[in-house]
Structure 1
Amino acid sequence: VQSSDRGAALRSEHHQSVAEIVRKLEGLNIPPEPLQSPLILGDWDVEYCSNPTAPGGYYRSALGRFFLATEAMIQTVKAPDFVGNSVSFSLLGILKGQVSLKGKLLALDEKWIEITFDPPFLKLGPIEAQYGKSSKVKIAVLYVDEKIRLGRGSRGAVFVFKRR
């Protein structure tokens, strides 16, 4: 998935290969309680998503990627229940920006977590503003170790995170 713009540049057969690898790893290491596993905590780079717009919304759509070159996508998980997502980008290679979300996570069962995010915060050059409304997502933790975390969103998107 390296050099694939976090999965956006991969062809269908490559997405299928990633899905097969994820299926194999899925049964190996499921934490009994996502919030109780210290492995889930930390700063994680979003390395891959099977749906390019799942992390970052319209900033990661085909049109968004044309104008906004993604520089970093990071998810931070801190005890006891904090999640922060950020997408850093460059507008046409000229103006730096960042969209960030702060949220609270809740373990739904041994595999699924629900994250309720505050409205997004946008920083574009000197301009800063909060906009939009709060959002909620559900993600299954499929695998986690010291370096890699795999997840699946409630709509089927597969995520690969790499510890920073």
Structure 2
Amino acid sequence: MNKKQVLLQAIAPFQIGLNQKGLKPTENQTKEILSAVAYLEESNPNPSPLEVPELLLGDWRLLFTSSKELLGLDRLPIIRTQYIYQCIRDGKIYNIAEFTGFPFLEGFVSVCASFTPVSRQRVNVRFERSVLGLQRLLNHKNVSEFVKILESKVKLPAVDFPITSTNQKGWLETTYLDENLRIGRGNEGSIFVLERK
């Protein structure tokens, strides 16, 4: 089994959207996952991800994260996270979480940010806009089309507001990147494993 397969096997029971039982890794499983992440990062074929935009840009689906904030989306009663996406465009990141609840009331929450490169792997991120609404009201069918709507900057029939606080910023580092898998680390110590959509 290669390094990538080892990681994918380790995170399989805990994948975002597929983990309908809400399973959380044990301490030993967490160590195994973190070890598999570090092992794969050592063989990163693109140590300067910002120099290969053809690989970095696009729509990525979150498979696994240690982010308490993202994992906390499932804490609300009745709400289940379906999928979480990170869509990277030129200088912009669109984080989109799709969730289900009552029938016909599928929703989403999106946070839009701009980013500025600060090293070969790291970008500083500044959050600019948050949108929360129902998928049906916006005719939300796929994440790529939704990003186009967000890029147009039109006011949406949803809870749509600018983020003006100067505290809403952080950084994101891409520590592994190939044609279909990306690993990121955030300023709060979180790990993100994503696959190209």
Deviations 1:121-159 (A, max 9, x none): 011364611247352221111100011100111121111
Picking from 157, 160, 163, the partner of 2:190 is 157
| Structure 1 length-normalised TM | 0.83
For residues 162 and 94 of structure 2, the distance between their equivalents in structure 1, rounded to whole angstroms, comes to 17
For residues 24 and 117 of structure 1, the distance between their equivalents in structure 2, rounded to whole angstroms, comes to 31
Q: 1:128 and 2:158 equivalent?
A: yes
- 8 Å CA contact retained: 1:69, 1:93: no
Deviations 1:75-123 (A, max 9, x none): 1112x21211100111245511111122211111112112212131011
Is the alpha carbon distance of 1:92 and 1:15 closer, same or farther for their aligned partners in structure 2, counting shifts above 3 Å?
farther
Q: What is the aligned partner in structure 2 of residue 74 from structure 1?
A: 85
Q: What is the aligned partner in structure 2 of residue 20 from structure 1?
A: 35
Picking from 10, 16, 23, the partner of 1:9 is 23
- Superposition pairs of residues 74-113 of structure 1, within 5 angstroms: 74-78=85-89, 80-93=90-103, 95-113=105-123
- 8 Å CA contact retained: 1:141, 1:152: yes
Q: Which has more radius of gyration? A: 2
Picking from 148, 172, 175, the partner of 1:139 is 172
Count the aligned residue pairs.
158
- 8 Å CA contact retained: 2:113, 2:129: no
- 8 Å CA contact retained: 1:122, 1:131: no
- 8 Å CA contact retained: 2:185, 2:191: yes
- 8 Å CA contact retained: 2:128, 2:162: no
More helix by share: 2
- 8 Å CA contact retained: 2:58, 2:196: yes
- 8 Å CA contact retained: 2:46, 2:178: no
| Structure 2 length-normalised TM | 0.70
Picking from 24, 33, 48, the partner of 2:64 is 48
More strand by share: 1
What secondary structure does 1:156 align onto? coil
- 8 Å CA contact retained: 1:121, 1:130: yes
Which amino acid is the alignment partner of residue 75 of structure 2? Answer: L
Q: 1:63 and 2:75 equivalent?
A: yes
Which amino acid is the alignment partner of residue 153 of structure 1? Answer: G
Deviations 1:60-81 (A, max 9, x none): 2x523x4311111111112x21
Deviations 1:6-43 (A, max 9, x none): 38622222221110011111121163443221211111
